[in-house]
Amino acid sequence: MEVSQFFKSLIDSDSAPVVICDSEHIVVYMNPASVERYHIDLTGKSIKLCHNADSNEKIDKVVEWFKESKENNKVFTSRNDEENKDVYMVALRDDSGKLIGYYEKHEYRSCETEKTYAQIK
C-alpha cells in the first residue's frame, strides 16, 4: 500500500476541516469535514475565491513569510470563541525545505467527547 493512501486516510478521518493549497493558492485537497463545513468543494480553484480582499492580503503576507525561511512554518490566524478553537496557517515543504503549499489547521480547545480506552470493550 502506498504511503499516500495512509496520509489521505489520516486527513479524511480528521473531524476538523483540512484545506490544503499549493504555493499558488490553488486548493489541492479538502477533507470531508471541510467540504461539509464550507458547503463547497474548491478543489482545483483558488482559495482566494472564498475570501475578501483583506483576508487575501493576509494570506499573501503569510505565504511570503513562509518563503523567507524554512523556520517560518506556522502562524496563528484567528480565534473562534463560539467554537472554542484557534485557527492556524501551516507551511508545507518538500524534502529540501522548499515551500510547496500550506494548509489551514483548526485546533479545538474543548474537552474531548470521543470514547476513551476504558469505554472500548
Any domain includes 8:
no
As a whole number of angstroms, the longest Cα–Cα distance in the chain is 52
Q: Are 42 and 30 contacting, i.e. CB atoms less than 8 angstroms apart? A: yes
Give the closest residue to 46 by CA, choosing from 28, 22, 25: 25
Residues of the domain holding 29: 16-111
pLDDT tens, position by position, 60-115: 999 999 999 999 999 999 999 999 999 999 999 999 999 999 999 999 988 878 78
Distance separating alpha carbons of residues 77 and 63, to the nearest angstrom: 12
Q: What total number of domains does the chain contain?
A: 1
Q: Quick check: is 9 in a domain?
A: no
- 21: amino acid identity, one letter: C
CATH number of the domain bearing residue 52: 3.30.450.20
In a domain, 6, yes or no: no
- State how far the alpha carbon of 114 is from the alpha carbons of 9, 17, 96, 110, 117, in Å: 19, 17, 38, 12, 10
The answer as to whether 119 is a domain residue is no
Q: Please check whether residue 116 lies inside any domain of the structure.
A: no
In a domain, residue 98? The reply is yes
Residue 32 placed within a domain: yes
Confidence of residue 51 (pLDDT cuts 50, 70, 90): very high
pLDDT at position 109 is 87
Q: Mean of the per-residue pLDDT values for the chain?
A: 93
Is residue 55 domain-resident?
A: yes
Model's pTM, two decimal places? 0.86
